[in-house]
């Protein structure tokens, strides 16, 4: 019996699988009777999905920056130095899209695994063999936030752990957490305006996983980040 197909739940994992198959499957196309049309559709699926994720990240980051800009315009502080956020630069649009990319991919993988020339070694080379993992306890699932900096702005990092998205909240010194983003792939740069030049502030972050548009598990520990103007 063929091994169960393991198409990742999260968008980042889905993209990695598409990229891997696009690079490796042509080497096995002959013995597995994968047609040139199949390979072309695989490439079109990769191009379209990659474009969508990059465009979505750009739009989300711009939306977050615009929200922060609006909040400072509306509420201050009066001595804040602010600039209107720059419009996002979107990636080049592919020439063609088609719906249900992963429906096509799942059917293609099933067909490959049923081919007479398929072996477990090929499955491992193509990364299409399911990893047997213990069931995740959704009640105790908790993200771990880490931080780096780009241009003085905090860049948050985490692992998706098979979830669909991460809901992120921040406290910029008011004592209250507010929603700043729901990210479908790991990595978020907070473009909230930095403190005035020569001053510093303590920003706090917390996050919780989401599956099927619902919160799951526990809120992360609060991550405290010092930022400077």
pTM: 0.61
Q: 134-229 sits in which CATH class?
A: mainly beta
DSSP for residue 222: P
Please report the pLDDT score of residue 156 as a whole number: 94
Tell me the backbone φ, ψ of residue 202, rounded to 5 degrees: -110, 115
Whether residue 181 has pLDDT greater than 90: yes
Q: pLDDT tens digits for 72-119?
A: 888 888 877 778 888 888 889 999 899 999 999 999 999 999 999 999
Q: 113 and 124 in contact (C-beta within 8 Å)?
A: no
- Identify whether the C-beta of residue 203 lies closer than 8 Å to the C-beta of residue 180: no
Q: What is the mean pLDDT of residues 60-65?
A: 82
CA dist 44 and 50 (Å) reads: 10
- According to DSSP, the residues that pair with 5 across neighbouring strands are none
Domain ranges of the chain: 1-132, 134-229
Q: Looking at residue 139, what DSSP letter applies?
A: T
Burial zone of 181 (CB within 10 Å; 0-12 exposed, 13-18 middle, 19+ buried): buried
The torsion defined by the Cα of 108, 111, 116 and 119, in degrees rounded to 10, comes to 60
Q: Per-residue pLDDT for 175 more than 70?
A: yes
Q: Does residue 3 have a pLDDT over 70?
A: no
Residues, the chain:
229
DSSP-assigned letter for residue 41: H
Q: Say what the pLDDT of residue 80 is.
A: 75
């Amino acid at each position: 019996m063929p091994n169960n197909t393991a198409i990742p739940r999260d968008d980042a994992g889905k993209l990695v699988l598409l990229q891997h198959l696009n690079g490796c499957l042509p080497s096995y196309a002959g013995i597995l009777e994968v047609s040139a049309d199949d390979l072309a559709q695989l490439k079109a699926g990769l191009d379209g999905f990659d474009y969508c994720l990059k465009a979505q990240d750009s739009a989300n980051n711009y939306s977050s920056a615009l929200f922060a800009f609006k909040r400072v315009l509306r509420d201050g502080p009066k001595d804040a130095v602010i600039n209107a956020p720059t419009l996002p630069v979107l990636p080049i649009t592919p020439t063609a899209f088609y719906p249900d990319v992963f429906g096509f991919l799942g059917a293609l993988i099933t067909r490959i695994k049923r081919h007479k020339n398929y072996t477990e070694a090929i499955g491992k080379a193509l990364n299409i063999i399911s990893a047997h993992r213990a069931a995740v306890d959704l009640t105790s699932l908790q993200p771990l936030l880490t931080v780096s900096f780009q241009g003085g702005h905090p860049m948050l990092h985490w692992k998706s752990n098979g979830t669909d998205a991460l809901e992120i909240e921040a406290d910029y010194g008011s004592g209250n957490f507010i929603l700043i983003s729901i990210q479908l792939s790991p990595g978020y740069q907070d473009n909230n305006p930095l403190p005035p030049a020569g001053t510093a502030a303590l920003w706090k972050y917390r996050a919780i996983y989401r599956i099927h548009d619902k919160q799951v598990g526990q809120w992360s520990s609060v991550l405290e980040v010092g930022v400077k103007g």
